[in-house]
Structure 1
Amino acid sequence: MLVSIIIPAYNASRYIAETLDSVLCQTYPSIEIIVVDDGSTDNTLGQLSKYEGKITILAQNNQGQASARNHGARTAKGSYLSFVDADDLCDPEKITQQIKLLDRYPEAIATYCDFRTIDSTGAVIQSHNALQKPRPSGDALVSLLYDNNISTPGLVLVRRSAWAAVGGFNEAPIHRGHEDALFWLNLALIGSFIYCPETLFSYRLHSMQETQREDYGLTRSFARAQRLLEIEKAIVRVAGKSTTKFYRERLFGALIDATWAARNHGRRIEARRYARLAVCERPHSLVAWRSLLSSIVPALGGGTPPYLE
């Protein structure tokens, strides 16, 4: 079965060749490689031209990684999809081992592996596996609601039919940089994940990683609250009583976090919106009402959510 490896690339000239070399070294014999240039202004296209005949190159105006991934997936011919960022590396056996798992578990819609983090030079920083963070297998919904156990899209091999069933990656601006977390939740609502306990991927960290941005906490809080709001109807429709209860707890916490993150960044309109939603979620909660009041009158309360004080 054909596997389509999709690589979104924006100003990726420094690492794209290394990434492509790692993908071209896969032991699995039937792959296609699709690189979507997302409006690069550097020499990314020049680097890609060296691989003419080995890869498919698509180009679009800069619209973000979610759009680039979906563009590549719509063009892909494979029954399986792998989304690899343009600075990360795949071990040679990655696709082979993951295909074996999906063949062994035909009911599963996706599989994901362990990984190592590397620095800008390729030196290993740390290995990440189930000893550091639980890795769900089977029904992954509760685990993904609790925490995003899948750190980067490159860990995953997903059936194309599942990508299509959930509508691909959400391209809304509020999810930019966090769209993969919503994608995993949507997948977990329709099928099971299989964990591959092998380290088969290298995830590159940079000195100016996004998490160091001053507004990262704000955008992360907004994205987390929004993705939980967006899956509410599906949760009510397909999840059991205990999972639904856990979801409601996570949603309330996310709304409170988003309220206070917005308040502390002077984003009063967003703060009031999330606070009102928190009150609707728990109309008898003092925490919710205090958060709403503090979003209207900033002088009320401190700088942290009341349940964290």
Structure 2
Amino acid sequence: MKKVVLFGAGLVSPPLIRYLLDGGFHLTVASLPGSGARKLVDSHPNARVLPLDVNDRDALREQVAAADVAVSLLPAPFHPLVARACIDSGVHLVTTSYVSPEMRALDAEARDKDVLLLNEMGVDPGIDHMSAMKVIHGEQEKGSKLVGFSSWCGGLPAPEANDNPFGYKVSWSPRAVLLAARSSARYLLDGQIVDVPPEKLFTDPAVVEIPDIGTLEGYPNRDSVSYLDTYGFDNGQVRNMFRGTLRNQGHCQLRTQHSQLGLFDDATEHDLTGTTSKALMETLFGAPLEDT
């Protein structure tokens, strides 16, 4: 029986846990104590839960070495720690996150040791890449001349569960959701690179009509230009390259207002002991709020 070690038991882990256990794999879920991992495996005979802090390099390497494949669903900054242990142990790694500079720096050594560091295997990034390549390869087989590419992807709450002003619910790392709101973006339009600074990310959303869904809005998704090579495009021929994120209408306006109010600032720390949400907002805004 193949052994898989999964690092992290957050919001995105339950479907993978079910998939692996239903597939007959032996699964070790390694996560911080109190993460709820034990409830996720539900006493399955082929699963075990192990309290683990990945900053403990020896404990991390021990669990990686005992597995055939490692999966990291930890917050992205921790992936290089797991990747380092995988390279040292000769074990392949899968993550759902974008390839960071730290992860990219490990590529040559991983290749030398025949270790696969397979990143961007989630929904976005991940399934969007698969669907993109299916379309691209299909057109190439027809002999089409590819001069532009545009794709949209987004995780949205079901209509019956769309019950908050954001039109959105957190299904992955809450901190990463907020950090993504501070990302810059880049895409190719009519042969020219367009750079979007973080403070402008949500200010001019596109209106996107989706069949059988309705009207949504979208904004640029990080660096689309870097995928020209990844998708195998002829850079001199392609004049438009855009990857976008979909959200329900009104989401981008709220995000813009939150950014302007400084709600995405992580440079200032606040003592929240005994503090109400209203009091915190008054501190951030520098003005009293009226009771409603």
Structure with more contact order per residue of length (Cα contacts < 8 Å, sep ≥ 6): 1
Higher helix share: 1
- Rg larger for: 2
Indicate whether the TM-score tops 0.5: no
Using the size of structure 2 for normalisation, the TM-score is 0.30
